[in-house]
Amino acid sequence: MKRFALLVLCVLVLVACSSKKPAAESYSASLSAYNHTEDYIHQFYVDGAGGGNSSPYGGGGSFVCCISAPAQWRPGLSATVKWTTSSGIPGDKRPEAITPRWHERVVPIDRYDVPGGLMNVHFLPNNEVRLVLSNMRAGAKDYPGPASPVKPPDWKW
């Protein structure tokens, strides 16, 4: 009887251990840019991972792999974003408009409850940046970040 009880106990321990999978500590997310400005973004990086380029008032159509993000959001979670811009205004030939300028910011990552597969990088006016980790693109119903960029009615490009 003791052997049977010991055997049952061992089986229960093994079943309990085998049914639990360790939680992932981090997830991989693809980068996608949303440009809410009249500047052309030549290139951008989030914590060193390259993300391509983005036309004025555009983006969200392509994804570049990958950046690692923690499985659980925590206060103070941020990333360093570096990017280059020049004027996206058609015909703007001023030297300061055609020479790309580097920008860099340490940007807080928006709060998330469930890590997503997309790190949406929103480039906003005044060199502000917003990072949204989600499974949705900007413009989707219940997307937690800014709406998709909208070209002004008089934008000619």
111/70 Cα distance (integer angstroms): 12
Q: Which residues have CB under 8 Å from 133's CB, separation 6+?
A: 29, 69, 73, 109, 110, 112, 115, 116, 118, 119, 120
Do the domain assignments include residue 5? no
Do the domain assignments include residue 66? yes
What 3-state class would DSSP assign to 3? helix
Q: Are the CB atoms for 131 and 81 separated by under 8 Å? A: yes
Is the previous residue joined to 10 through a cis bond, with omega within 30 degrees of 0? Answer: no
Along the chain (157 residues), what's the average pLDDT of each consecutive run of 10 residues? 47 44 72 93 92 87 79 94 89 82 96 89 96 92 92 82
Q: What is the pTM of this model?
A: 0.80
Domain of 75 in residue numbering reads as 38-134
As for how many domains the chain has, the answer is 1
pLDDT at residue 7, as a whole number: 44
